[in-house]
Structure 1
Amino acid sequence: MSSTAPGRTAGSDVVLRRAGASDAGPAADVWLRSFRAALPTVVRPRSDDEVRDYFREVVVPCRETWVADACGEVVGVMVLGEGEISQLYLDPGWRGRGVGDRFVDLAKERAPDGLALWTFQVNTPAHRFYERHGFTAVAHTDGSGNEEREPDVRYVWRP
């Protein structure tokens, strides 16, 4: 299978591709910008430098990491593993352009038997996004099981 997903977003040159070592820093920066914009009330347990180190040392080399590349600029990142979307973040300026939809379609292709993910309860735009893609909320927690100690929601998609 090719590492580049077919198709492009209307009106742009966005390509979904597997992340390489040189994408770790830009992908971490997308994560940081997106987290700040989407989750301003959630306290991060890690500094910006620790997030960048984690992407460089763990996420990109050890996980199935995909980036959305717009003419050489990383504008989105998705991390998959064993039927799980563990991360899906878009640069704030790229929301609403279909890139997230394409990431979810790719995740469903890579995990045709089903997917699961966690999102924070305060992230209602994410809830709408995943529900629009056929995910169903199956559990709500008080946040005691995550590093941020933020209440979250478990979503699943079954074909």
Structure 2
Amino acid sequence: MRTARGQLWHLPQLAVILWGFTRATPWLPQVRSHWDDLRALAKVIRWGWVRVIRKQGRLAGFVVRDGDILHALYVHPLRQGQGFGRALLAEAKAEAGVLRLWVLEANAAARAFYARQGFVEAARSMGLGNDEGLPDILMVWRGKGESA
């Protein structure tokens, strides 16, 4: 598995991966249009925050990270459970002593995934800081030697 910096030409495949989750999750309200999603993805690509991972020339997943803040991690629905999310997180962990992310409380699968990767719950919110307005949880991973 190889990771690389996200490029603007990855945008269509990134959108397919993102929408594979957001458009197929019944409890997740659709608060952004496809165009809004594309604009947001293009912006974080230009900022250099996106890393992608491939399998057989096709994108299998991506992560959006700014320093110690993990904004998004998505794996194509047909590629889940094959280690792509772990590989993207491993790269982020190798580059940062601490990682922080907000995960929606209703997203039990993501919460369990992050817990298996060493993240612990640090705080809860009623969702005032996320686009969907849903309760969320701050999860934190601390590398060796990093204190609270």
TM (normalized to structure 1)? 0.85
Among 55, 59, 62, which residue is 2:41 paired with? 55
Q: Which runs of 5+ in 1 are unaligned?
A: 1-7, 9-14
Q: Tell me by how many angstroms 1:28 deviates.
A: 1.9
1:101 and 1:36 map into 2 onto residues whose CA distance is 23
Aligned 8 A contact 1:25 1:55 in 2: no
The answer to whether the aligner puts 1:68 opposite 2:89 as a matched pair is no
| Structure 1 segment 73-112 matched on structure 2, within 5 A | 73-111=58-96
How many residues in Structure 1 have an aligned counterpart in Structure 2? 143
Q: Percent of counterpart pairs with the same letter?
A: 29
SS of equivalent residue, structure 2 residue 23:
helix
| Structure 1 segment 2-151 matched on structure 2, within 5 A | 8=1, 15-37=2-24, 39-56=25-42, 58-111=43-96, 113-151=97-135
Q: Tell me by how many angstroms 1:144 deviates.
A: 1.7
Q: Tell me by how many angstroms 1:44 deviates.
A: 2.6
Aligned residues: CA RMSD: 1.3
Q: Which runs of 5+ in 2 are unaligned?
A: 144-148
SS of equivalent residue, structure 2 residue 60:
strand
User: 2:139 matched to which residue of 1?
Assistant: 155
Aligned 8 A contact 1:31 1:77 in 2: no
Aligned 8 A contact 1:120 1:152 in 2: yes
Q: Tell me by how many angstroms 1:65 deviates.
A: 0.5
Aligned 8 A contact 2:22 2:30 in 1: no
Residue-by-residue CA offset, 1:38-77 (whole Å, 9 max, x unaligned): x321113211122112212x02111420111122211211
1:114 and 1:156 map into 2 onto residues whose CA distance is 7
1:44 and 1:82 map into 2 onto residues whose CA distance is 28
Aligned 8 A contact 1:84 1:116 in 2: yes
Q: Tell me by how many angstroms 1:121 deviates.
A: 0.3
2:108 and 2:3 map into 1 onto residues whose CA distance is 25
